[in-house]
């Protein structure tokens, strides 16, 4: 965040200075040309020389921005590659013959220790019934849905599917039995 802020300030300030420099050269050169102190050839040569000097500076600035993006992307790539793969619980079973009754029992979930999103949720979703979750952004609606296929694991409490804790099923069979349409493509 700080690096991008610094790059934005640097890019804006150098662009501003470059533009002011070009305007100053055009005005000063025009005045010298009008006064007869320089010829049109001298004026043209000077403008071309200034642009030849400014272009490498702009190229260097663009390179530094691309380099920063590359370093940030590589750091994120390394974080993802070092992430522990998801594992099934010991003695996890295949989910078969799904009826579809889902129950949340005293479910709590926090993304980290400081921000609890869900607190003591008790909810029973009967087979074949429809449920609409309505609330403000950040209220936990998507998180609640992501807990069922175990994209996240509950911090406290348990979620059952047809009376069996979802942690007792293999992730592949659990997720293969659930259809999800995400709000973000």
More confident call, 11 vs 185:
11
- pLDDT surpasses 90 at 41: no
Contact 142, 148 (CB under 8 A): no
The DSSP element (H or E) to which 125 belongs, if any, is strand 115-125
For the chain, percent of residues with pLDDT exceeding 70:
97
Contact 108, 118 (CB under 8 A): yes
The DSSP element (H or E) to which 82 belongs, if any, is helix 40-82
Residue 17 is predicted with a pLDDT of: 82
pLDDT in tens, 82-129: 988 888 888 889 988 888 899 999 999 998 777 788 999 999 999 888
Residues paired with 124 in a beta bridge = 103
Handedness of CA 145, 150, 153, 154 (dihedral sign): positive
More confident call, 127 vs 2:
127
Two structure tokens written together for 86: 């998801």
The DSSP element (H or E) to which 4 belongs, if any, is helix 2-35
CA dist 40 and 93 (Å) reads 86
Residues paired with 116 in a beta bridge = 110
């Amino acid at each position: 965040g700080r690096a991008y802020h610094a790059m934005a300030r640097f890019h804006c300030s150098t662009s501003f200075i470059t533009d002011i420099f070009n305007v100053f050269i055009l005005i000063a050169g025009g005045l010298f040309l009008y006064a007869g102190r320089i010829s049109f050839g001298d004026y043209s040569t000077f403008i071309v020389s200034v642009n030849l000097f400014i272009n490498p500076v702009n190229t260097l600035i663009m390179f530094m921005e691309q380099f920063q993006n590359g370093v940030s992307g590589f750091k994120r790539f390394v974080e993802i590659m070092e992430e522990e793969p998801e594992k099934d619980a010991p003695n996890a079973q295949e989910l078969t013959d799904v009826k579809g009754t889902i129950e949340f029992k005293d479910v709590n979930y926090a993304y980290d220790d400081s921000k609890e999103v869900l607190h003591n949720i008790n909810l029973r979703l009967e087979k074949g019934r429809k449920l609409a979750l309505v609330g403000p952004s950040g209220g936990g609606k998507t998180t609640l849905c992501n807990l069922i296929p175990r994209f996240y694991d509950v911090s406290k409490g348990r979620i059952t599917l047809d009376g069996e804790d979802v942690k007792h099923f293999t992730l592949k069979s659990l997720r293969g039995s659930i259809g999800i349409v995400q709000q973000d493509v």
